[in-house]
Amino acid sequence: MDVSCGRLMTLGYINEFCVAWRKAMRRVINVPYNCHSCFLPLLSDTLFIFDELYKRSFRFILSCVFRGSPLVRAVAHHALKIARYNSMIGSNALFCCARYGWTAADLLAGKIDVYNSYFQKICDNSLSGSEICVAQSQSLFEVLCVREGQLYLPDSFLHLSEINEIICALCTVVL
C-alpha cells in the first residue's frame, strides 16, 4: 500500500471524527444543525477538536523523544530524522510543526512549549473578528444562558420559541 494513501485514509478518519464531534457538540449545546462550526469552541470553551487531537498527539511525541526508554527515544528520533513522512510519529510531528510554525530542529532541541494557552491562542487567532463578535459580543452565549435558565432577564417578555429563534438567527448569521 502506498504510504501517502495511508496518510490520506488516516486524515479521512480524523475528518470524519471531527464532523461527528461537531454534530455532537451542536446537540449537547442545543443549537441548530447548521450553526457555524467556528462558534462551537467559543461556546463550549474548548479548542477545535482537530487541534485538540494534534495537541495530544504532539505531547505524546515529545514524551517519546525526551522521557521514554532508550529504545523509545531511538525509535522516536529515527522517525523524526530518517523516516519522517514514512512513519506515523514523524508524519504527525512534521504536520504539527507545519501547522503551528515550529521546526523539526526546535522539536529535537526541546525548544517547543505546548501549553494549553498556546494552542488556545492559535485557535483564537484563526477566527475572524466577525466570528468572535457574533459568538461573544452579540450575546449568543448570553441568549443560550437565558434559554437554559442560567441567566435571567428582568421582566422577561420573551417566550422560549422566540429565544430559540434568536439563537438560530445568531448561529447561522452570514459572516
Q: pLDDT tens across 34-85, in order?
A: 998 888 888 888 888 888 988 999 999 999 999 879 999 999 999 999 998 8
Task: Answer yes or no: are the C-beta atoms of 90 and 80 closer than 8 Å.
Answer: yes
Number of neighbouring beta carbons within 10 Å of residue 111? 10
Pick 127 or 8 by higher pLDDT.
127
Task: Answer yes or no: are the C-beta atoms of 64 and 154 closer than 8 Å.
Answer: no
User: What's the burial of 172, exposed, middle or buried (CB within 10 Å: 0-12/13-18/19+)?
Assistant: middle
Number of neighbouring beta carbons within 10 Å of residue 98? 11
Q: Provide the residue ranges of all domains of the chain, joining segments of one domain with +.
A: 1-46+127-175, 49-125
